Structure 1
């Protein structure tokens, strides 16, 4: 320890050094009888006074240090809160980035078809919300049933399509589809109000027809009076969101978006007008359904046929011999 540091410490503890010095000097004077008892007593009082001041100073320092520590801790609480908020934001950003990395965009029609095909593999359920279910009826439903039949397992299908009895929503949907593309699709037809109705009727009829052919098929249908521009197809392991011939977004099951959309699709279906397919259990449907069978079926389902009865053969053809609209 250097001399400067020793002198610095002695200066900081001047009162204690003074008290010690007085005590030593008075003690020596008392032993040598140089100082009188009165002087010695006064010196003792002075020493005690200096020691009292030293004790008070130490207490003041401790109080000041305590206050500083408390203020520092309070500041640390604020920092901890800020750090917690920062960690929360970071976690949210991490989740968002993870969602973006999990979701994939498919732009080519072939890629979209491949994703839908992958979604159909080994799934025991299918949730759909869209327009009239044209692709569902032409490709998805037959393929799902084929796989389920081979494996002898149950299949749950939930469909939300446009209400064919609501001319307003059918006309709105047809006008939207024409505005997107005036050219005929893979069926060779242009979208009209009448076609929209026929397609929705055909999807309802196809669900009943397939259910009669495969007893392990459980179908639930809801009829919507509002239209959207996106179609959602959800299987056990992925969600495929498409829009006509545009790109598709593929969301895997482990994504938070998948769970959110599942809740959305189920809630939306619960609010749609239900088609009570169980009422059609007593209606026999042949491999080649007749006009009378179709009429009896829709009458039992309480879904009025608001199109000309001359168009019923088209409904049957679209139901059991559908054309892929995206072929």
Structure 2
């Protein structure tokens, strides 16, 4: 089997998704997966999918699962202790973290890929976009824009509400000829979509080397020559200005990067963001206002928010 990863899961309440995700992001995490109650229910419907936490909803209570992935060489004991301490701090401050249970598991890339394949199917997004796993068959229809993906360990399949929000907003606002930056590119799905929707140049950026490798492979597979994937963060690897910056990340990181994003946007450029849970909507909107962004659109899907803001 290929690489081994340590998966640490926190079973929590939907309202605590942002806070628990932030704990993982404060560590040397290689990737974070967020499963809200709708994701869990959908997986439970899938024949043959052996979900280890089937008890999550047995009492009719909605739960969310936040998964963080770490290198096999990391000190897992210290990481778990740190997460436990942070969860206890939040509980002591009166936050509802639900069960707050921590589960640890070893994950191999081959097993990860096989588990995804059990329920990751062709998905139509917006008016024209079709997200197609490489191993699935699909008869292309007139007008379809097909994106073929193998997420590997890169966290980004196109089926989660936050990704769908970004894809639908890119489809709406890309008119052709734009320069697009995709921050936290993951599997590269948003970069590939932007290119296929008509962007002239796309740069996808991620601090995770695993994501960068997966994104580059997916870009090559989709034959989009005008997409470049770079390893690093926004301020380190970009030096020009874009017409559109898209970021599907959690609210805390979006808030921290808003002032930097403004510097890398042309006047009138668009900041398209998601990964924002309902409870953090106003925090993000307020930060955008402080940085002189005009809110163009706020789009909701399930527990999640997508925002389009114009750089004034």
Q: TM-score range by the shorter chain?
A: under 0.3
What's the TM-score, normalizing by structure 1?
Answer: 0.23
Greater RCO (Cα-Cα under 8 Å, separation 6 or more): 1
Q: Which has the higher helix share?
A: 1
What's the TM-score, normalizing by structure 2?
Answer: 0.23
Q: Which has the higher strand share?
A: 2
